[in-house]
Structure 1
């Protein structure tokens, strides 16, 4: 892999990843709690929406906060709690409902995001 690509994941870039993570958290929260989210950001299947959102959150969170794989269980737990909080909050939003299968899709997305980050983390750790 090119060093330019790996530079995207260097510790000096952590501020950019944190900004991206904050933007993703705001966007996902807004989409999840909006009574009528825009259809333009819908994949057509609710579970894939959840999986994609949480894959992006997990991937960004690795580089923003938890770049070491041994820290990833805490990351996964934090994102699952966030997903559970969203589901609970949705039960109070008109035209929305809580669905625990959404939490399962969130977990799958987290696993995908961490799996995508894993080979990059390995290469970045070996970098001089």
Structure 2
């Protein structure tokens, strides 16, 4: 019982972080580039991959029940961002950015799989588990 209650608390925390990351990603993706902090100006495709790796990994920690649905939804989110950027007039939509989003999601999913396996083995080794 304690283990499942603790897991639920952590999933709620991951869900809050996931919501915040999603909001930050949407905002940073749609503001004019000139308004972005200079500290995040580096290769655009790397920005997409890193951002979506974080979204994928944290999203899967928050909602592990349906990983393919979550990853598909995030891929759709990336496509919608690109379409919205194309419509703004101050940003450009780019299908290569969508591919970088997909690469990032794959990295996030692999990290989640690794973390899930590691946490499972650690819990099995715990005294009293």
TM-score normalised by the shorter chain: which range applies? 0.7 to 0.9
Q: TM-score, normalised by structure 2?
A: 0.82
Structure 2 residue ranges without an equivalent (≥5): 1-5, 124-128
Paired positions, count: 116
1:82 counterpart residue number: 77
1:61 aligns with 2:59: yes
How many angstroms apart in 2 are the aligned matches of 1:35 and 1:119?
Answer: 36
How many angstroms apart in 2 are the aligned matches of 1:97 and 1:58?
Answer: 23
Superimposed CA distance per residue, residues 72-99 of structure 1 (whole angstroms, 9 cap, x where no aligned partner): 2212111100000000000111321110
1:39 counterpart residue number: 38
SS in 2 for 1:117: helix
Structural mapping, 1:1-128, within 5 Å: 10-36=7-33, 37-42=36-41, 44-66=42-64, 68=65, 71-126=66-121, 127=123, 128=129
